[in-house]
């Protein structure tokens, strides 16, 4: 499902070249729940961004569902992200001008593969499921950080992705909310069979994963 | 379908910073209003100058030496004056460089019964057989020959065809009406044949003063002259001045060239200003939109992350800019039209005073200029926003989301 070969990323800065990720080999079979752990600054987000088609690797390959993500054309990669990948960011990531329901529906609207009423029904269903049934018409500024994160998860799921990438989706939330949100992600993984790659600082959470990837200084440690 | 989606995103983005959007629209409105008004006036002035000489058909005018020729008179309509020439003075001279010549008698009268009591009316006698500056302008006329007792009205006068017009109590028939020429005498004049003019002269009451000399048969106020084929204005002028004593020759070039050149320079200056105005508008929109793109790079990165194609990201930003500048352009044109309506009278008066007979641009071309101004304003929005949007959309989504790029 997910195959990284010698994936690496370095940034050119004023202090010289900074290597964020160096030569990572990673295999995650379809349907699996994998957790990525590591200290702050170890390169977890950078790796996730390369996997998710958001940040071009300096070297190596990333294959998702049999497709070499970074060899696709720009438009094909956009379509690929849209169809195959659901991404939950480390921070709030909703469009402030859109109602929650429209935020959730947006990836499906951009993909234009399904009729609009169907998209809206589905978006409403996802919001309902994540406990936000009362907030369809609310704007992101009107709900809490935890609720915003749930909306982001609903948005990541709208196109039925094959791969769900969640980069510390609960880092700034209280414990109870964290548990609830993790339960939702795990439920998707189990019920729908969506491959889940999760970055977390919470070791208890990581323990539930079928595969733990420990990263330090941009490389996988045993 | 995504077109509509992008448009609604763009509209929502415009609504976020209402004050900023308003200022942008206002700035574009002012710019395109000025450009529209400038362009419309320029075209009008251009047309008016073309009307001045060429369309009136005469190359020069021969009038008594003492005649005050203000610039308006130089636009080849003879102005009323007390000085006269003999009607056959030109014919007798037999000048090879002079082609057709059309004599005119003009008298400015009060209490004529035309218009309100104190209106000054120019009664103009022409020789229908020789005239070539009045009848070509007939816009509508009766379906018969022009004859004794008929009058032709300038475009500024209002009376139905075939109606009766009492002048000093004598009945006349409105034979025809002239199209708009913008030349004062032409616009307000009441034209008639010499026969009719002389008959009327006899009936004209005298108010104390002496009888104007032009009322006498065989006297004319001046001649409108066409050059013989191949002759130059200079040759004709020289020939006329040496053959006939006590006249002056007003030619288009000598009297108007200065003004024309001045106006042409002015128009070019206005044109340059308009180009600069648009250029500065383009720079302003471009600067503003690079700032807006920077401000929204996180959102753009997010859109990219969830699968928006590059063209869609650019489209959203460009649509936003085009709507703002397009609305600004439309607003500017509306303001321009209002301002022109407001100042129409004083402007026309002023221009006619400095010797430009004024003809407004016709409706289709005004609409064309307006459309061009709006399209240009929108194009500026498209151009100004395209580059920053194009650049940003090319960045990695992750860099944008993290707030770089
Ligand atoms: N655009 C950039 N320019 C320069 N260095 C960068 C850039 N992005 C990331 N880095 C560096 O790459 C390294 C890895 O960063 P990354 O965000 O992947 O860490 P992380 O493991 O996600 O940390 P955290 O747990 O705090 O989110 C860091 O040392 C960071 O300074
Ligand atoms: Mg991180």
Q: Which of A16-25, B38-47, B372-381 has the lowest mean pLDDT?
A: B38-47
Per-residue confidence (pLDDT) for residue B80, from 0 to 100: 66
pLDDT digits (tens, 9 = 90+) for A75-90: 999 999 999 999 999 8
Phi, psi of B90 (to 5 degrees): -75, -45
Q: Can you read off the two tokens belonging to residue B236?
A: 């004709």
Q: Is A74 an interface residue toward B (CB < 8 Å)?
A: yes
CB contacts, 8 Å: A104 with chain B? none
Per-residue confidence (pLDDT) for residue B75, from 0 to 100: 46
Q: A200 CB under 6 A from ligand 1?
A: no
Question: Has residue B78 got a pLDDT over 70?
Answer: no
Q: How far is the centre of ligand 2, averaged over its atoms, from the C-alpha of A59 (Å)?
A: 20
Per-residue confidence (pLDDT) for residue B63, from 0 to 100: 85
Domain count, chain B: 2
Q: A11 CB under 6 A from ligand 1?
A: yes
Higher pLDDT, B76 or B291: B291
- B397/A54 CB distance under 8 A: yes
Per-residue confidence (pLDDT) for residue B207, from 0 to 100: 66
Mean pLDDT on A61-85: 95
Domain count, chain A: 1
Mean pLDDT on A5-24: 93
Per-residue confidence (pLDDT) for residue B255, from 0 to 100: 45
Per-residue confidence (pLDDT) for residue B71, from 0 to 100: 46
Q: What is the mean pLDDT of chain A?
A: 93
ipTM: 0.95
* Nearest Cα residue to B285 out of B384, B387, B376: B384
- Which ligand has the minimum distance to the alpha carbon of residue B404? 1
Task: State percent of chain B over pLDDT 70.
Answer: 86
Q: Which of A11-20, A116-125, B71-80 has the lowest mean pLDDT?
A: B71-80
Per-residue confidence (pLDDT) for residue B73, from 0 to 100: 41
Higher pLDDT, A222 or A188: A188
pLDDT digits (tens, 9 = 90+) for B137-171: 788 888 899 999 999 998 888 888 899 988 888 89
Question: Has residue B324 got a pLDDT over 70?
Answer: yes
- B305/A97 CB distance under 8 A: no
Q: How far is the centre of ligand 1, averaged over its atoms, from the C-alpha of A10 (Å)?
A: 10
Higher pLDDT, A112 or A178: A178
Are B230 and B307 in a shared domain?
A: no
- Give the bridge partners for B33, in sequence order: none
Q: What is the mean pLDDT of chain B?
A: 83
- B399/A55 CB distance under 8 A: yes
- Which ligand has the minimum distance to the alpha carbon of residue A89? 2
Per-residue confidence (pLDDT) for residue A110, from 0 to 100: 92
Model pTM above 0.80 = no
> Of B251, B268, B293, which residue constitutes the final position of a domain?
B251
Per-residue confidence (pLDDT) for residue B67, from 0 to 100: 76
Distance from CA of B308 to the nearest CA of A (A): 6
> Of B251, B271, B303, which residue constitutes the final position of a domain?
B251
Nearest to A54 among B298, B305, B308 (CB): B305
DSSP sequence for B319-330: HHHHHHHHHHHH
CB contacts, 8 Å: B9 with chain A? 95, 97-98
Are B230 and B105 in a shared domain?
A: yes
- A93/B1 CB distance under 8 A: no
CB contacts, 8 Å: A80 with chain B? 307
Per-residue confidence (pLDDT) for residue A45, from 0 to 100: 95
Higher pLDDT, B69 or B91: B91
Q: Is A78 an interface residue toward B (CB < 8 Å)?
A: yes
Q: Is B281 an interface residue toward A (CB < 8 Å)?
A: no
- A87/B305 CB distance under 8 A: yes
Are B145 and B274 in a shared domain?
A: no
Nearest to A110 among B308, B397, B398 (CB): B308
Are B94 and B214 in a shared domain?
A: yes
HSE-up of residue A207 (Cα within 13 Å, Cβ side): 3
- Closest-CA residue of B relative to A46 is B398
Per-residue confidence (pLDDT) for residue A99, from 0 to 100: 94
- pLDDT tier for residue B68 given thresholds of 50, 70 and 90: low
Per-residue confidence (pLDDT) for residue B54, from 0 to 100: 47
Report d(CA A47, CA A168) in Å as an integer.
13
Domain boundaries, position B293? 3-53+260-402
Are B265 and B370 in a shared domain?
A: yes
Domain boundaries, position A216? 2-220
Q: Which of A21, A35, A43 to mutate to test the pocket of ligand 1 (most atoms within 8 A of CB)?
A: A43
Are B17 and B140 in a shared domain?
A: no
Q: Which of A35-49, A121-135, A155-169, B200-214 has the lowest mean pLDDT?
A: B200-214
Report d(CA B91, CA B100) in Å as an integer.
10
- pLDDT tier for residue B356 given thresholds of 50, 70 and 90: low
Q: How far is the centre of ligand 2, averaged over its atoms, from the C-alpha of A202 (Å)?
A: 13
Q: For ligand 1, atom 26, which residue shows the shortest CA distance?
A: A40
CB neighbour burial string for B9-38, b if at least 16 within 10 angstroms, e if fewer: bbeebbeeeeeebeebbebbbbbbbbbbbb
Using alpha carbons, list the distances in angstroms from residue A130 to A86, A125, A158, B282, B362. Answer: 16, 9, 12, 47, 64
SS3 B83: coil
Are B239 and B289 in a shared domain?
A: no
CB contacts, 8 Å: A79 with chain B? 307, 309
Per-residue confidence (pLDDT) for residue B254, from 0 to 100: 44
Per-residue confidence (pLDDT) for residue B351, from 0 to 100: 65
Distance from CA of B260 to the nearest CA of A (A): 57
Candidates B4, B303, B305, B316, partner chain A, best to mutate (most A CBs within 10 A): B305
Report d(CA B398, CA A208) in Å as an integer.
28
- B307/A78 CB distance under 8 A: yes
Phi, psi of B271 (to 5 degrees): -60, -45
The CATH number of residue A169's host domain is 3.40.50.300
- Which ligand has the minimum distance to the alpha carbon of residue A54? 1
Q: For ligand 1, atom 29, which residue shows the shortest CA distance?
A: A41
Mean pLDDT on B58-62: 78
Q: A107 CB under 6 A from ligand 1?
A: no
CB contacts, 8 Å: B16 with chain A? 96-97
Q: Is A89 an interface residue toward B (CB < 8 Å)?
A: yes
Nearest to B306 among A82, A96, A97 (CB): A82
* Nearest Cα residue to A204 out of A175, A162, A177: A175
Are B36 and B82 in a shared domain?
A: no
Measured distance between the N- and C-terminal CA atoms of chain B, rounded to whole angstroms:
30
Contacts of A192 (CB under 8 A, 6+ apart): A160
Q: Which of A139-148, B183-192, B330-339 has the lowest mean pLDDT?
A: B183-192
Are B274 and B130 in a shared domain?
A: no
- Give the largest Cα separation in chain B, rounded: 97
> Of B198, B232, B251, which residue constitutes the final position of a domain?
B251
pLDDT digits (tens, 9 = 90+) for A82-121: 999 999 998 878 999 999 999 999 999 998 788 999 999 9
DSSP sequence for A15-84: TEEEEEEEEEEEEE-TT-EEEEE--TTSSHHHHHHHHTTSS--SEEEEEETTEEGGGS-HHHHHHHHHHH
Q: How far is the centre of ligand 2, averaged over its atoms, from the C-alpha of A106 (Å)?
A: 25
- pLDDT tier for residue B245 given thresholds of 50, 70 and 90: confident
Using alpha carbons, list the distances in angstroms from residue A124 to A47, A104, B174, B197. Answer: 32, 8, 78, 89
pLDDT digits (tens, 9 = 90+) for B269-315: 888 888 888 888 889 999 999 999 999 999 999 999 999 999 999 99
* Degrees to nearest 5, angle at CA B227 with B222 and B228: 130
Are B211 and B230 in a shared domain?
A: yes
Q: For ligand 1, atom 31, which residue shows the shortest CA distance?
A: A41
- pLDDT tier for residue B357 given thresholds of 50, 70 and 90: low
Per-residue confidence (pLDDT) for residue B140, from 0 to 100: 86
Q: How far is the centre of ligand 1, averaged over its atoms, from the C-alpha of A67 (Å)?
A: 26
pLDDT digits (tens, 9 = 90+) for B121-146: 888 999 999 888 888 778 888 889 99
Q: Is B17 an interface residue toward A (CB < 8 Å)?
A: no
Greatest mean pLDDT among A179-183, B81-85, B360-364:
A179-183
- pLDDT tier for residue B201 given thresholds of 50, 70 and 90: confident
Greatest mean pLDDT among B79-93, B99-113, B343-357:
B99-113
Per-residue confidence (pLDDT) for residue B354, from 0 to 100: 55
- Closest-CA residue of B relative to A49 is B398
Report d(CA A119, CA A125) in Å as an integer.
10
Per-residue confidence (pLDDT) for residue A62, from 0 to 100: 97
């Amino acid at each position: 499902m997910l195959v990284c070969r010698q994936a690496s990323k370095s940034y050119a800065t004023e202090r010289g070249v900074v290597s964020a990720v160096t030569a990572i080999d990673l295999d995650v079979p379809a349907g699996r729940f994998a957790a990525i752990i590591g200290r702050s600054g170890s390169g977890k987000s950078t790796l996730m961004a390369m996997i998710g088609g958001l940040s071009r690797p300096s070297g190596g390959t990333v294959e998702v569902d049999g497709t070499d993500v970074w060899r696709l054309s720009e438009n094909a990669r956009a379509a690929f992200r849209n169809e195959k990948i659901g991404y939950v960011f480390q921070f709030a990531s909703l469009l402030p001008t859109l109602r929650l329901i429209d935020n959730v529906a947006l990836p499906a609207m951009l993909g234009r593969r399904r009729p609009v009423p169907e998209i809206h029904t589905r978006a409403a269903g996802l919001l309902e499921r994540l406990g936000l049934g009362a907030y369809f018409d609310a704007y992101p500024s009107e709900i809490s950080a935890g609720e915003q994160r749930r909306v982001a998860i609903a948005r990541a799921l709208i196109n039925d992705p094959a791969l769900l990438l969640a980069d510390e989706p609960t880092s700034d939330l209280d414990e109870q909310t964290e548990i609830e949100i993790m339960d939702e992600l795990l439920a998707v993984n189990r019920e729908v069979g969506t491959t889940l790659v999760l970055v977390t600082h919470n070791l208890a959470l990581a323990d539930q994963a079928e595969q733990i990837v420990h990263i330090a200084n941009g490389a996988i440690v045993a | 379908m995504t077109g509509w989606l992008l448009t609604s995103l763009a509209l929502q983005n415009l609504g976020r910073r209402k004050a900023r959007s308003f200022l942008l629209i206002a700035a574009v409105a002012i710019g395109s209003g000025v450009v529209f008004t400038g362009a419309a006036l320029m075209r009008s002035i251009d047309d008016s100058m073309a009307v001045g000489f060429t369309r009136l058909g005469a190359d020069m005018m021969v009038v008594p030496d003492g005649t005050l020729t203000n610039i308006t008179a130089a636009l080849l309509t003879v102005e009323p004056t007390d000085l006269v020439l003999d009607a056959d003075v030109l014919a007798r001279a037999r000048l090879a460089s002079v082609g057709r010549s059309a004599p005119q008698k003009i008298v400015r009268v009060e209490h004529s019964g035309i218009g309100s009591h104190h209106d000054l009316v120019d009664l103009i006698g022409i020789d229908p057989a020789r005239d070539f500056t009045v009848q070509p302008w007939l816009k509508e006329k009766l379906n018969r020959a022009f004859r004794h007792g008929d009058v032709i009205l300038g475009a500024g006068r209002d009376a139905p065809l075939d109606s009766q017009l009492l002048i000093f109590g004598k009945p006349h028939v409105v034979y025809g009406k002239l199209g708009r020429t913008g030349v004062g005498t032409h616009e307000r004049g009441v034209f008639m044949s010499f026969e009719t003019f002389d008959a009327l002269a006899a009936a004209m009451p005298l108010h104390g003063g002496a009888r104007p000399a032009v009322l006498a048969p065989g006297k004319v106020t001046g001649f409108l002259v066409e050059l013989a084929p191949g002759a130059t204005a200079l040759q004709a002028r020289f020939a006329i001045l040496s053959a006939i004593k006590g006249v002056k020759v007003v030619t288009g070039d000598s009297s108007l060239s200065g003004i024309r050149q001045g106006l042409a320079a002015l128009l070019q200056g206005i044109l340059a200003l308009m180009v600069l105005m648009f250029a500065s508008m383009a720079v302003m929109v471009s600067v503003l939109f690079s700032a807006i793109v920077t401000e929204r790079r996180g959102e753009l990165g997010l859109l990219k992350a969830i699968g928006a194609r590059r063209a869609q990201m650019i489209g959203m930003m460009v649509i936003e800019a085009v709507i703002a500048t397009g609305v600004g352009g439309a607003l500017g044109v509306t303001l321009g039209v209002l301002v022109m309506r407001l100042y129409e009278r004083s402007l026309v008066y002023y221009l006619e005073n400095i010797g430009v007979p004024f003809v407004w641009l016709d409706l289709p071309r005004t609409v064309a200029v307006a459309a061009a101004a709006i399209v240009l304003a929108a194009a500026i929005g498209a151009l100004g926003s395209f580059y920053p949007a194009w650049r940003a959309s090319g960045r990695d989504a992750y860099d944008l989301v993290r707030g770089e790029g």
